[in-house]
Amino acid sequence: MKIAFIGLGNMGAPMARNLIAAGHEVTGFDLAAQPEGIEMAPTAAAACTGADVAITMLPNGAILQSVADEIIPVLPRGAVFLDCSTVDVDSARAVAAQAAAAGLGALDAPVSGGIGGAEAGTLTFMVGGGDAAFATAAPLFEVMGQKAVHCGPSGNGQAAKICNNMILGVTMIATCEAFALADKLGLDRQKMYDVVSTSSGYSWTMNAYTPAPGVGAKSPADNGYKPGFAAELMLKDLGLSQTAAAAVDADTPMGERALELYRQYVEEEGGRGMDFSAMLPRFESRGRG
């Protein structure tokens, strides 16, 4: 396919390279990044002219809507606007409606799997939008990821992502709290891991992304908490979850508390630029007061 890829940062660039490696014709645009191996256009509109699929990977809903205003008029009727950003549900649905009015297919398809998954082509896509657009994009999902779940109409991909990451944020906090408590109780971290990872406390954060260095799965904790998924991105996603919860009157006290803790860590305690699992050294250094 002829693909435009808008937003070539830490996630977008490896996703685009995987598409190129699979034989697709990719033209990119980014305001700052100039990644090697990707043909770049001078504007987003230029990248999208004549494209079969336009893929976006952008920081927030406001930027997504601004880019949509630029590229939707130049995409040919029948093309697919595939947004892989993580944004608010309302922005996703507004862009989908705008695309549909222009005769385009539209998909909101945020991802899970982080930079490593983008590089390895093992992302999971949570997809909202129509059946025809999903069928068009399916071969691209197979190149960039290991799984794509069609979650329903436009906006439902974003809904799935924020629900998933609310669970992830809450669970990571609980896992880090438990390691810090084990330390103070004199319980060896490896012994705790050996018990919890095979007992009722097992979780993805414990078993696959262990936040304690030298214990369990190899993770950012073993690399000085250099981000695989940055704490500020978790803060963003938890903020989206609570915005959505307020909009639909959902009671999410754990999600709300996780948002408060990540906001404190990122904005007041030097957590910006650290992996979201660096909550463990944060809890290690604190008492109950």
The catalytic residue among 147, 161, 191, 218 is 161
β-pairing, 123-129 vs 111-112, is: antiparallel
Is 161 known to be catalytic?
Answer: yes
What is the DSSP track for 41-65? -SSHHHHHTT-SEEEE--SSHHHHH
Measured distance CA(50)–CA(23) in Å, rounded = 18
Q: Which two tokens stand for residue 55?
A: 């893929």
* Residue 276 near residue 233 (C-beta atoms within 8 A): yes
Catalogue the active-site residues.
161
